[in-house]
Amino acid sequence: MEKVDTAQTPEGADAPFEFISKSLQGRTIASDVDVDGSNVAYWTYEPVKPTQDARTILVIHGFRGDHHGLLRVADLLPDMRIIMPDLPAFGSSDPFLYDEHTVERYGHFISGFMAALGLGPKTVLLGHSFGSIVASHFAARNPGAIYPLILINPIAAPALEGPKGIMTKLAVFYYQVSARLPRRLGLALLRNRAIVRVMSITMAKTKDKNLRRFIHGQHDAYFSAFADRRSLLESFKASVSGTVADVAGELRLPVLLIAGEKDEIATLPNQHKLMERLPEATLEVIPDVGHLIHYETPAPAAAAIRTFLEEHPA
């Protein structure tokens, strides 16, 4: 099987200007577990002062991301236990052995991962971007398995439709071509630093130069940590073929939507439409930020999470 080097920088080493506090390292436990024959790397961020009432949050990251992406949010929730796996085929985790990397298969992974770690129905499930699709479909298909559900930059409308549809189709073509080219050329195209930087510049909305440098550094370091071209193409197709709206009516539990005012991928009008379709939803809109809430505005996101969980105790 074609394998890409996923060696990573030690946590915090690429986080200049104190964008991630040193205290987070003291809460960190790195582990791995076998799930359906695939080795899965995951990180646990224990609460600073463990109590019986401390909430456990299982975090599902976005497409081409890994656990590093949500570190700033975890850093601001020191009273909670945060568990963040690298999804199969990303970061330091193996791809699925035989199955296609679909939304449904990632949902089965969540079931297996929770069972392996003994995570019960009081577990909070949080998904960002593509992770919001995976998390919402899992919650809909497994009622009572988690409580409640938190979605950051949730994908509320089909990516192949609307004004951004042409760009999405071009992206599909990009991944298809990269998968068909000879290995060396295909990987060079997928890991091209100029393409990664254009993506990063397009999504970042902050005017803080130091924060922009941090964001670009994160994307440079981790955006190309994927297992192989086949699983990457499969995951990308999954990310643009499903939405949270597909299962909105089936989510019979409290759902928190944390949306960016300037998000061009998960647009604000679509967030309002999604909220109307959810039986029990809260929408928190963060101003002056786009699809990188987890990097640019972790403080209001963490505050919204804390308030929401206080209003919906285990």
Report the C-alpha dihedral over residues 18, 20, 25, 26, rounded to 10 degrees. Answer: 80
What is residue 307's predicted lDDT score, i.e. its pLDDT? Answer: 98
Instruction: Decide if pLDDT at 265 tops 50.
Output: yes
Percent of the chain with pLDDT over 90: 82
Task: In whole angstroms, give the CA distance from residue 301 to residue 297.
Answer: 7
**Does the pLDDT of residue 24 top 60, yes or no?**
yes
Q: Would you say residue 239 has pLDDT above 80?
A: yes
**DSSP 3-state of 224:** coil
How high does pLDDT run on average in the chain?
A: 91
Tokens 């690429």 sit at which residue? 14
Position 10 scores a pLDDT of 37
pTM of the model: 0.92
Whether the per-residue pLDDT at 272 is higher than 60: the answer is: yes
Q: CA–CA separation, 312 vs 256, rounded Å?
A: 11
What is the CA angle 250-256-258, rounded to 5?
125
Q: What is the pLDDT, as a whole number, of residue 162?
A: 53
Q: What amino acid occupies position 37?
A: G
Side-chain-side CA neighbours of 182 within 13 Å: the count stands at 2
**Among candidate residues 81, 92, 65, the one with its CA nearest the CA of residue 293:** 65
Residue type at position 155: I
Q: Are 37 and 112 in contact (CB under 8 A)?
A: no
Across 172-252, where does the E strand assignment appear? Answer: none
* 294 neighbors 70 (Cβ within 8 angstroms): yes
How many whole angstroms separate alpha carbon 296 and alpha carbon 212? 9
